[in-house]
Amino acid sequence: MSYLGFQILYFLLKSLPYADAERVYAPWVDMEAALRRAGRPLCSLEGDRPLGEFDVLGVTLQYELGATNLLTILDLGGIPIRREGRGEADPLVLAGGPGAYVPAPLALFVDAFCVGEGEEQFPEALALLSGLKGRPREERLRALADIEGIWVPAFPRPVRRRFVRDVSSTFVPADRIVPNMGIVHDRVATQVFRGCFRGCRFCQAGMTERPVRERSAESVLSEAESALARTGYEEAGFLSLATCDWRGLPEALARFGERMRSGRTKVSLPSLRMDAFSVELAAGLQAVRKGGLTFAPEAGTRRLRDVINKNLSDEEIRSTLEGTFANGWDRVKLYFMMGLPTETEADLDGIVALCKEAARMGRSAGRRVSLAVSLAGFVPKPHTPFQWEGQAPRAVFRERARSVKSRLSDRRFEVSYHDPEQSFLEAVFARGGAELGPAIEEAWRRGARFDGWSETFDLRRWEEVFRDLNIDAEGLATRERGEQEPFPWDFIQVGVSRAFLWRERCRAMEGIPTQDCRSGCAGCGLGLICREGALDRDLPSSAEEDVSRG
């Protein structure tokens, strides 16, 4: 319910003359058991129709550990799990979202993957399918394979990511579905731009969602105001990968000012950067109530931040924290990653030192601060400069996390770390290929459910399956790949060139940062498309060279 992309596609489909949409979610384990006991199929929320009766089942693949949820939905909905087992009357199963950038592990179960943004390709696909209704399944799939951005495992061929060039003319929902219970991020979400200027080397979205395409403050506000009025929400969220970088932000906040001052509407901004501008913004937004502030330095030393291209100096971190405490916050959350390429003991010492210094600064500002420190394990993601890297073994993660935790053991700190076993499985699925399909099915048959939830996650079950099916999961996650080694996702062209990613990887190893797209083009391979797009400045010739090099 918190996912904006879902709401955009839902209302878009409902606006089409040849389509309609209803929702379904994977039920929690108790509801699954109840449905099975009662012999009832999983049905859509709006019309209470069994999933097997629909023409198309569309699924968003949010991240790697959702794989078994897909199988639960199919099976409970009365749809054969494997695509080969589906007959003429079964729905076509289409999948999109970030998981479609690495589709091979799910190719056994999905009829067609929609790679990239859905606003153009999804209606195209549905228009085509509505014209072919009643035609043989194979004919419909063949036709889908001809749509740019759609990859059909039955007729595999390289596919290029689809994306909307002009976000000012794309579909924007005036409405939102209002949940009937509290949800995460319970507010009107509005997207302010797509892509990211920054170029952090570990970040998949920062690479796959290029180029930056900004919306005007005018259009964002009119969407937010309409949705606020129609839903009764009193809070709006301006979403993007880095909202502080949105050039429309000052204007949007100024124009929203009266609503905010009168207390009618709150505004929330995700992903604050560690700079003075962000603290000023946050101070303006939370004039009355000071909740917590969250920052992501990602690494403990300037050296390692240069490796990952975070471009954040110790001085900037210090002055941001100073500003944070001076403005009245006493709860701060800091995110770090562990196991990043080239990490050493000194980088862990850096995390500890940075946290202790933050606590000291809070005290000298006269505040009793509490610092939440969150440690996540690095997962090498496809389509990033770190796709060649191996993940650190789980024992190393655990050891490093314990070491940091033991050194931040007093009451000022609350240290938590992401389960290294889940990060490991995430890396297996991020980097594996079609060989994982049977393993996903087998683990699901043996009871794997909601693997992204710690309550239900059990790595032992997966390890047994990998052993029984002779899959070298450790190797998939931890082995460093060679420069020319083929990847199972090579046939998905997201726009950035492999040459650029490798160049960035080499610069990372030398600790050389790369400028962000606003300061100058780094020649990622999108070149001409980027120039046609929303960035209103000239690209240096290196961008075009990169395009001609392919």
Closest among 541, 514, 539, 549 to 207, alpha carbons compared: 514
> Does residue 521 bind ligand SF4 (CB under 6 A)?
yes
For ligand SF4, the closer of residues 406 and 515 by Cβ is 515
SS3 211: coil
User: H helices of 344-393, where?
Assistant: 345-364
> Using CB under 6 A, which residues numbered 205 to 224 contact ligand SF4?
210-211
> Does residue 524 bind ligand SF4 (CB under 6 A)?
yes
For ligand SF4, the closer of residues 96 and 211 by Cβ is 211
For ligand SF4, the closer of residues 45 and 528 by Cβ is 528
**258 and 268 Cβ atoms separated by less than 8 Å:** no
**444 and 473 Cβ atoms separated by less than 8 Å:** no
> Does residue 200 bind ligand SF4 (CB under 6 A)?
no
Q: Kindly report whether the peptide bond that precedes residue 420 is cis, defined as omega within 30 degrees of 0.
A: no
For ligand SF4, the closer of residues 430 and 524 by Cβ is 524
SS3 59: strand
Q: Least separation, in Å, of the C-beta of 148 and ligand SF4?
A: 20
> Does residue 517 bind ligand SF4 (CB under 6 A)?
yes
Near ligand SF4 by CB under 6 A, which window of 11-19, 240-248, 364-372, 514-522? Answer: 514-522
For ligand SF4, the closer of residues 126 and 524 by Cβ is 524
Task: Measure Cα distances from 435 to 7, 109, 322, 381, 479 in Å.
Answer: 33, 13, 51, 18, 17
For ligand SF4, the closer of residues 376 and 539 by Cβ is 539
For ligand SF4, the closer of residues 476 and 535 by Cβ is 535
SS3 269: coil
Q: Tell me the number of residues near ligand SF4 by CB under 6 A.
A: 10
Tokens of 106: 């799910």
Identified binder of ligand SF4 from the candidate list 24, 340, 365, 530, rule CB under 6 A: 530
> Does residue 126 bind ligand SF4 (CB under 6 A)?
no
Near ligand SF4 by CB under 6 A, which window of 32-40, 403-411, 416-424, 526-534? Answer: 526-534
Near ligand SF4 by CB under 6 A, which window of 336-344, 356-364, 367-375, 515-523? Answer: 515-523
Write b or e for each residue in 294-326: b if 16 or more Cβ atoms lie within 10 A of its Cβ, otherwise e. bbbbbbbbbebbbbbbbbbebebbebbbbbbbe
Q: Least separation, in Å, of the C-beta of 535 and ligand SF4?
A: 6
Closest among 335, 334, 273, 344 to 304, alpha carbons compared: 344
What span, in angstroms and rounded, lies between the C-alpha atoms of 439 and 436? 5
> Does residue 543 bind ligand SF4 (CB under 6 A)?
yes
> Does residue 526 bind ligand SF4 (CB under 6 A)?
yes
> Does residue 522 bind ligand SF4 (CB under 6 A)?
yes
DSSP secondary structure code for residue 459 in this structure: H
Judged by the rule CB under 6 A, the positions of this chain that interact with ligand SF4 are 210-211, 517, 521-522, 524, 526-527, 530, 543
